[in-house]
Amino acid sequence: MKDLAVIENILRNRHHFFIEIRDGIGLQEKIRAMLISCIAFLALYGAVMGSTHSLWQTLSSAVKLPLLFLATLIVCTPTLYFFNVLFGSNQSMTQNVAVIITAITVTAVILLSFAPITMFFLLTTSHYQFFKLLNVAIFAIAGIAGVVFLSQGMRMVAASGNEGAGARRWLLYLWIIVYAFVGSQMAWTLRPFIGAPSMQFELFRQLGGNFYTNIFASIGEILGFVTVR
Protein backbone atom coordinates (compact mmCIF):
# COMPACT_ATOMS: atom_id res chain seq x y z
CA MET A 1 0.00 0.00 0.00
CA LYS A 2 2.91 2.32 0.78
CA ASP A 3 4.24 1.88 -2.74
CA LEU A 4 0.97 3.13 -4.19
CA ALA A 5 1.69 6.56 -2.67
CA VAL A 6 4.08 7.10 -5.56
CA ILE A 7 1.01 7.47 -7.80
CA GLU A 8 -0.01 10.60 -5.93
CA ASN A 9 3.46 12.06 -6.38
CA ILE A 10 3.38 11.34 -10.10
CA LEU A 11 -0.11 12.63 -10.73
CA ARG A 12 -0.21 15.63 -8.41
CA ASN A 13 3.41 16.71 -8.03
CA ARG A 14 4.82 15.59 -11.30
CA HIS A 15 7.26 18.51 -11.63
CA HIS A 16 8.82 17.78 -8.27
CA PHE A 17 8.85 14.09 -9.08
CA PHE A 18 10.74 14.66 -12.33
CA ILE A 19 13.11 17.13 -10.65
CA GLU A 20 13.92 14.45 -8.09
CA ILE A 21 14.63 12.01 -10.90
CA ARG A 22 16.81 14.64 -12.57
CA ASP A 23 18.72 15.13 -9.32
CA GLY A 24 18.94 11.38 -8.78
CA ILE A 25 17.02 11.47 -5.49
CA GLY A 26 15.68 8.08 -4.40
CA LEU A 27 15.78 6.61 -7.89
CA GLN A 28 15.85 2.98 -6.82
CA GLU A 29 12.93 3.39 -4.42
CA LYS A 30 10.93 5.24 -7.02
CA ILE A 31 11.56 2.61 -9.67
CA ARG A 32 10.66 -0.19 -7.27
CA ALA A 33 7.43 1.50 -6.14
CA MET A 34 6.43 2.29 -9.73
CA LEU A 35 7.19 -1.24 -10.89
CA ILE A 36 5.08 -2.76 -8.10
CA SER A 37 2.22 -0.36 -8.79
CA CYS A 38 2.20 -0.74 -12.54
CA ILE A 39 2.55 -4.54 -12.43
CA ALA A 40 -0.41 -4.73 -10.03
CA PHE A 41 -2.57 -2.41 -12.14
CA LEU A 42 -1.68 -4.03 -15.44
CA ALA A 43 -2.20 -7.51 -14.05
CA LEU A 44 -5.63 -6.56 -12.83
CA TYR A 45 -6.61 -4.99 -16.13
CA GLY A 46 -5.25 -8.02 -17.97
CA ALA A 47 -7.39 -10.27 -15.78
CA VAL A 48 -10.47 -8.18 -16.63
CA MET A 49 -9.72 -8.56 -20.34
CA GLY A 50 -9.22 -12.31 -20.12
CA SER A 51 -12.35 -12.92 -18.03
CA THR A 52 -14.48 -12.87 -21.13
CA HIS A 53 -13.00 -16.20 -22.25
CA SER A 54 -12.03 -18.56 -19.44
CA LEU A 55 -10.34 -18.74 -16.09
CA TRP A 56 -7.08 -19.82 -17.72
CA GLN A 57 -7.26 -16.86 -20.07
CA THR A 58 -7.88 -14.59 -17.06
CA LEU A 59 -4.73 -15.81 -15.36
CA SER A 60 -2.74 -15.81 -18.57
CA SER A 61 -3.67 -12.22 -19.45
CA ALA A 62 -2.93 -11.10 -15.89
CA VAL A 63 0.62 -12.30 -16.39
CA LYS A 64 1.02 -11.31 -20.01
CA LEU A 65 -0.10 -7.68 -19.85
CA PRO A 66 2.62 -6.54 -17.39
CA LEU A 67 5.04 -8.69 -19.38
CA LEU A 68 4.07 -6.85 -22.56
CA PHE A 69 4.92 -3.44 -21.11
CA LEU A 70 8.10 -4.54 -19.38
CA ALA A 71 9.39 -6.43 -22.41
CA THR A 72 8.73 -3.39 -24.62
CA LEU A 73 10.57 -1.25 -22.08
CA ILE A 74 13.57 -3.57 -22.14
CA VAL A 75 13.63 -3.68 -25.93
CA CYS A 76 13.31 0.07 -26.47
CA THR A 77 15.17 1.74 -23.60
CA PRO A 78 18.75 1.22 -24.85
CA THR A 79 17.91 2.96 -28.13
CA LEU A 80 16.58 6.04 -26.38
CA TYR A 81 19.42 6.12 -23.90
CA PHE A 82 22.29 5.81 -26.35
CA PHE A 83 20.80 8.24 -28.85
CA ASN A 84 20.25 10.72 -26.04
CA VAL A 85 23.88 10.35 -25.02
CA LEU A 86 24.90 10.82 -28.63
CA PHE A 87 23.03 14.13 -28.71
CA GLY A 88 24.57 15.50 -25.54
CA SER A 89 22.40 14.15 -22.74
CA ASN A 90 24.03 13.63 -19.37
CA GLN A 91 21.31 11.42 -17.91
CA SER A 92 22.11 7.99 -16.60
CA MET A 93 20.41 4.83 -17.82
CA THR A 94 18.60 4.58 -14.46
CA GLN A 95 17.16 8.07 -14.91
CA ASN A 96 15.98 7.11 -18.40
CA VAL A 97 14.39 3.95 -17.07
CA ALA A 98 12.75 5.89 -14.23
CA VAL A 99 11.15 8.37 -16.62
CA ILE A 100 9.92 5.63 -18.95
CA ILE A 101 8.51 3.62 -16.04
CA THR A 102 6.75 6.79 -14.89
CA ALA A 103 5.02 6.91 -18.27
CA ILE A 104 4.14 3.22 -18.04
CA THR A 105 2.78 3.76 -14.52
CA VAL A 106 0.57 6.60 -15.75
CA THR A 107 -0.65 4.34 -18.56
CA ALA A 108 -1.35 1.61 -16.01
CA VAL A 109 -3.26 3.98 -13.72
CA ILE A 110 -5.44 5.14 -16.61
CA LEU A 111 -6.05 1.53 -17.64
CA LEU A 112 -7.06 0.68 -14.08
CA SER A 113 -9.44 3.62 -14.05
CA PHE A 114 -11.04 2.16 -17.18
CA ALA A 115 -11.32 -1.31 -15.63
CA PRO A 116 -14.88 -0.80 -14.28
CA ILE A 117 -16.02 0.33 -17.74
CA THR A 118 -14.38 -2.68 -19.38
CA MET A 119 -16.00 -4.90 -16.78
CA PHE A 120 -19.37 -3.33 -17.48
CA PHE A 121 -19.10 -4.11 -21.19
CA LEU A 122 -17.78 -7.56 -20.36
CA LEU A 123 -20.99 -8.28 -18.48
CA THR A 124 -23.39 -6.64 -20.89
CA THR A 125 -22.11 -7.56 -24.35
CA SER A 126 -20.43 -10.59 -25.81
CA HIS A 127 -19.49 -9.22 -29.20
CA TYR A 128 -15.87 -10.20 -29.47
CA GLN A 129 -14.84 -7.71 -32.12
CA PHE A 130 -16.51 -4.84 -30.27
CA PHE A 131 -14.80 -5.82 -27.03
CA LYS A 132 -11.47 -6.04 -28.80
CA LEU A 133 -11.81 -2.60 -30.39
CA LEU A 134 -13.02 -1.12 -27.10
CA ASN A 135 -9.82 -2.30 -25.50
CA VAL A 136 -7.71 -0.99 -28.36
CA ALA A 137 -9.32 2.42 -27.86
CA ILE A 138 -8.74 2.32 -24.11
CA PHE A 139 -5.12 1.34 -24.61
CA ALA A 140 -4.71 4.17 -27.11
CA ILE A 141 -6.07 6.74 -24.65
CA ALA A 142 -3.94 5.41 -21.80
CA GLY A 143 -0.90 5.23 -24.08
CA ILE A 144 -1.30 8.85 -25.21
CA ALA A 145 -1.52 9.99 -21.59
CA GLY A 146 1.64 8.03 -20.82
CA VAL A 147 3.45 9.49 -23.82
CA VAL A 148 2.54 13.05 -22.76
CA PHE A 149 4.03 12.31 -19.35
CA LEU A 150 7.10 10.81 -20.94
CA SER A 151 7.60 13.89 -23.07
CA GLN A 152 7.27 16.23 -20.07
CA GLY A 153 9.50 14.05 -17.96
CA MET A 154 12.23 13.82 -20.55
CA ARG A 155 12.19 17.58 -21.06
CA MET A 156 12.56 18.21 -17.34
CA VAL A 157 15.06 15.50 -16.60
CA ALA A 158 17.22 16.55 -19.54
CA ALA A 159 17.05 20.22 -18.57
CA SER A 160 20.52 20.24 -17.08
CA GLY A 161 22.16 19.46 -20.43
CA ASN A 162 21.06 22.03 -23.00
CA GLU A 163 23.41 20.90 -25.72
CA GLY A 164 21.42 19.19 -28.49
CA ALA A 165 18.14 19.73 -26.67
CA GLY A 166 16.21 20.30 -29.91
CA ALA A 167 17.66 17.17 -31.50
CA ARG A 168 16.82 15.15 -28.41
CA ARG A 169 13.26 16.41 -28.47
CA TRP A 170 12.84 15.17 -32.06
CA LEU A 171 14.59 11.98 -31.12
CA LEU A 172 12.07 11.43 -28.35
CA TYR A 173 9.16 11.89 -30.79
CA LEU A 174 10.71 9.38 -33.18
CA TRP A 175 11.39 7.01 -30.32
CA ILE A 176 7.75 7.21 -29.23
CA ILE A 177 6.71 6.07 -32.71
CA VAL A 178 9.21 3.20 -32.56
CA TYR A 179 7.98 2.34 -29.06
CA ALA A 180 4.40 2.21 -30.31
CA PHE A 181 5.38 -0.10 -33.17
CA VAL A 182 7.42 -2.38 -30.93
CA GLY A 183 4.62 -2.40 -28.36
CA SER A 184 1.94 -3.31 -30.87
CA GLN A 185 4.10 -6.06 -32.36
CA MET A 186 4.89 -7.35 -28.87
CA ALA A 187 1.17 -7.39 -28.10
CA TRP A 188 0.56 -9.31 -31.32
CA THR A 189 3.27 -11.81 -30.39
CA LEU A 190 1.95 -12.34 -26.87
CA ARG A 191 -1.70 -12.56 -27.92
CA PRO A 192 -4.36 -13.63 -27.05
CA PHE A 193 -5.24 -11.27 -24.23
CA ILE A 194 -9.00 -11.54 -24.62
CA GLY A 195 -9.38 -14.93 -26.26
CA ALA A 196 -11.61 -15.49 -29.26
CA PRO A 197 -14.89 -17.14 -28.25
CA SER A 198 -14.60 -19.75 -31.01
CA MET A 199 -11.20 -20.93 -29.89
CA GLN A 200 -9.96 -22.94 -26.97
CA PHE A 201 -7.57 -21.39 -24.50
CA GLU A 202 -4.04 -21.05 -25.80
CA LEU A 203 -1.16 -19.41 -24.03
CA PHE A 204 0.24 -18.01 -27.25
CA ARG A 205 -1.35 -18.07 -30.65
CA GLN A 206 0.50 -18.95 -33.81
CA LEU A 207 2.17 -16.02 -35.52
CA GLY A 208 0.80 -14.65 -38.73
CA GLY A 209 -0.84 -11.43 -39.83
CA ASN A 210 -0.21 -8.31 -37.85
CA PHE A 211 -1.84 -6.03 -35.35
CA TYR A 212 -2.93 -3.34 -37.79
CA THR A 213 -4.57 -5.55 -40.42
CA ASN A 214 -6.44 -7.33 -37.65
CA ILE A 215 -7.77 -4.05 -36.25
CA PHE A 216 -8.94 -2.93 -39.69
CA ALA A 217 -10.55 -6.32 -40.25
CA SER A 218 -12.34 -6.06 -36.88
CA ILE A 219 -13.65 -2.60 -37.76
CA GLY A 220 -14.75 -3.99 -41.11
CA GLU A 221 -16.58 -6.85 -39.43
CA ILE A 222 -18.37 -4.59 -36.97
CA LEU A 223 -19.50 -2.42 -39.89
CA GLY A 224 -20.51 -5.54 -41.80
CA PHE A 225 -18.04 -5.24 -44.66
CA VAL A 226 -15.86 -8.28 -44.05
CA THR A 227 -15.63 -11.38 -41.92
CA VAL A 228 -12.44 -11.86 -39.94
CA ARG A 229 -10.75 -14.99 -41.26
Query: Is 46 within 8 Å of 61 (Cβ atoms)?
Result: yes
Taking the least distance from each CB to other proteins, the nearer of 78 and 209 is 209
Confirm or reject binding of residue 85 to other proteins (CB under 8 A).
Answer: no
Q: Which of 74, 123, 140, 178 binds other proteins (CB under 8 A)?
A: 123
Query: Is 193 within 8 Å of 52 (Cβ atoms)?
Result: no
Query: Is 209 within 8 Å of 192 (Cβ atoms)?
Result: no
Confirm or reject binding of residue 133 to other proteins (CB under 8 A).
Answer: no
Q: Which of 27, 32, 36, 54 binds other proteins (CB under 8 A)?
A: 54
Confirm or reject binding of residue 15 to other proteins (CB under 8 A).
Answer: yes
Query: Is 51 within 8 Å of 135 (Cβ atoms)?
Result: no
- DSSP assignment of 33-96: HHHHHHHHHHHHHHHHHHTTT-HHHHHHHHHHHHHHHHHHHHHHHHHHHHHHHHTT----HHHH
Confirm or reject binding of residue 112 to other proteins (CB under 8 A).
Answer: yes
Q: CB 161 → other proteins: shortest distance, Å?
A: 11
Residues engaged in binding other proteins (CB under 8 A):
1-8, 11-13, 15-16, 18-19, 37, 40-41, 44, 47-48, 51-55, 58, 109, 112, 115-116, 119, 122-129, 152, 155-159, 162, 196-200, 221, 227-229
